[in-house]
Amino acid sequence: MVQYDCPYIRTTREHDVAFHAQHWDFNHADRTLETRLMVIGESREELSGGLETLGEYQMLRDYDLLARKENTAVLRSRIDETDAMRTILHNDGYVTGPFVIRNGSELWNVGFDRGEQADDALAELDRNNEFTVKNDDSIHIDEFFDVMQNVDSLCALLSALQGLTDTERATLEAAVEKGYFSTPRQTNLEGLADEFDISKMGASKNLRRSQRKVLTELVRVINDVEAQLDLEEGPRVSGGSDESRDPEPISE
């Protein structure tokens, strides 16, 4: 999604920074979006420039810098309702997951209760925004319940993905796309190193860090799902005990 009136997107056009939403809340009374964001700059200088540029846009009501360390910051901000936000809300749409903003565009996860609402929203969005629909899936009610029962675990996994640096994310994506995990392998560490013009050791470190962050949370999700299934199924009775068999008739 490219919103021409979004201060976050405008900032990423001018500076090498990325915004990762941690929490958001839309205020219907004053038509503003309050968001807590993690901002990651390619360098300290890029982060400083991005924060300075962000504060200059009229659509930004205010923001507080909650924490900062090297090239990463956490801030709370309020922006005016954008055209795309207005369109989504007008068609009873809702945000279903965190959004990420980088390189002049942002990735939205948006839901609608009915297909015709989604069609109407996309038609209206096309007037003043540029966007590409990456996935258009309908969720069955059983799948919906599965998601709701494991929402905390899924949020933890999303947080792990958001915690990847741009370099770690790019390295992991390249490893998947170039066939590093295929059998047989279609590329190796040397190939990944050449992709980013770094040493094999550097490529290995970036890949291992990204794998560790993602797989740690993925294992937790798997364990949580298995625990939920065990809870739903209840205690299991062994089929080999004498108590489970029909009683034999008593002979006189």
pLDDT of residue 145: 56
What is the reported pLDDT for 251? 41
100 φ, ψ to 5°?
Answer: -125, 135
Chain segment 135-156, per-residue pLDDT in tens: 776 665 455 556 556 656 666 6
Write the CB contacts of 161 (distance below 8 Å, at least 6 apart in sequence).
169, 214
Domains, in order of start, for the chain: 7-138 (no CATH), 144-233 (1.10.10)
Name the 3-class secondary structure at 107.
strand
Rounded distance, CA 222 to CA 74, Å? 29
Identify the pLDDT of residue 23.
Answer: 79
Q: Which uninterrupted H or E stretch holds 12?
A: helix 7-14
Sheet strands (E) in 96-237 = 100-102, 105-107, 110-111
Tokens matching residue 128: 């003043």
The pTM assigned to this predicted structure is 0.56
Decide the pairing of beta strands 72-80 and 105-107. Answer: unpaired
pLDDT at 26: 84
| Partners of 197 in beta bridges | none
pLDDT computed for residue 225 by the predictor: 67
pLDDT digits (tens, 9 = 90+) for 81-98: 999 989 998 999 887 766
Residue indicated by tokens 């809870």: 231
Residues of the chain with pLDDT under 70: 97-98, 137-156, 225, 227-252
**Biggest alpha carbon distance in the chain?**
98
| DSSP reduced 3-state for 189 | helix
Distance CA 91, CA 86 (A): 9
Identify the pLDDT of residue 66. 92
